[in-house]
Amino acid sequence: MLGEMAGRTQEALYGEIDLELSWSEAELPQAERTKHVHGLHPYLGKYVPQLVEIFLKRYFHQGNCVYDPFAGSGTTLVEANVFGAHAIGCDISAFNCLLSRVKANAHALGALELGLRTVLEEARRRGPASACGASAWLREWYSPQALGELLRYREVASSRLAGPALAVAEVVLSRAARSARQTTHFDLDFPGSPTVLPYYCHKHKRSCSPVQTAEKFLVRYTADTVRRLRAFARIRTDRTVEVLHADARAVALRRQPDGVITSPPYPGLIDYHEQHRYSYELLGLADRRAEEIGAASRGTTRGATNAYVADMTAVFANTASQLRDGAPIVIVVNDSKNLYPAILAGAQLVLEEVTTRHVNRRTGRRAGEFFESILVCRARS
């Protein structure tokens, strides 16, 4: 599907690209791609909210219900709510569900801010907790000081907060834990092993040392989280958002969606559970990585690719069976292996339109241009 792009001139390529779905860095800077809650926590592999805004306007109406079987960081759910549609998201990752709920739900912001600042102050006053009961992974990846501060924050938050407020604190803790790992500043996305000695930093162009404390990150991200939640609250609607920690291959939805907007995982690219290992270790989240589709740990062998096709077919067949007649299914995918013709056929989906989108920048060290396809399908009647 995308292999035909190779060797084409830029002029020829842009003659076939939907320019409404393609932006330069100047046209769509990072501040816009991560506006309000979309920047609440780093997350690899998410699509920009501006894409979802356009899909909603093209294929949905206010009051509709939009479903995302791969909810990820909640981009579809947040934008559907702003648009005025109800939203349902499903994800096998407990962390993804935690983050999506915190992003999309309404919060009592005054009480929340007071609670978060109380937790910060009490954790600071009491000092680092003992790391005796921490896992070997945590002790390996954090300095004793940083780990003790993270553990104390977790202890105080668990005793002071509950429900949605505690979930927000857990996202703050997770974000701080990501930054406080003993790794190089330029490799937060895919650190291979802990770094405990000074190193030359490609990000700062000088010698740097691994992080030794977490408190500064807890303070910084508490303020940033409150600011982002307040910004979203100003545009949030009263439409419902439901997040299901479930397997999209078999999940039974409690209401009938009017369509789908999703960006599925690609085979052999990212382990979504391992990406947020620090959260699973600190928060004790249910780890369902064995059920993850297309995990990087499985590679891209023929067997892994065949399993990916079978799993994706099951997801979209189960999804289509629960949609209203004629519902649009919008799929954003970089199908470099040309797997989706078989997936769509197996799921009994009719491909109505294929649009090419040019992506000329990604975040982190994965920066570089590539092309995505927008597949617009409907269930075969």
| Distance, CA of 239 to CA of 56 (rounded, Å) | 14
Closest CA to 89 of 63, 65, 68: 68
Beta partners for residue 377, in sequence order = 329, 351
Q: Is 105 helix (H, G, I), strand (E, B) or coil?
A: coil
Q: Distance between the two ends of the chain, CA-based, in angstroms?
A: 25
Q: Give the pLDDT confidence of 232-279 residue by residue, as tens digits.
A: 999 999 999 999 999 999 999 999 999 999 999 999 988 999 999 999
Query: Tell me: the pLDDT tens digits for 218-237?
Result: 999 999 999 999 999 999 99
Domains observed in the chain: 3-94+240-271+299-379 (3.40.50.150), 109-233 (no CATH)
Cα gap 23→367, rounded to integer Å = 15
Confidence grade of residue 16 (pLDDT, cut at 50, 70, 90): low
In which residue are the tokens 């100003």 written? 234
What digits encode the pLDDT tens for the residues 162-189? Answer: 999 999 999 999 999 999 999 887 778 7
Name all contacts of 28-31 with Cβ < 8 Å and 24+ positions apart. 30/363
Tens of pLDDT, residue by residue over 197-213, are: 888 888 888 888 889 99
207-232: burial string, b at 16+ Cβ within 10 Å, e else: ebebbebbbebbeebbeebbebbeeb
- Report if pTM > 0.95: no
Cα separation, 330 vs 261, whole angstroms: 5
Tell me how far the alpha carbon of residue 201 is from its chain's centroid: 27
Nearest CA among 190, 155, 362 for reference residue 276: 190
| DSSP β-bridge partners for residue 351 | 377
| pLDDT the model gives residue 189 | 79
Please say if the pLDDT value at position 114 is more than 80. yes
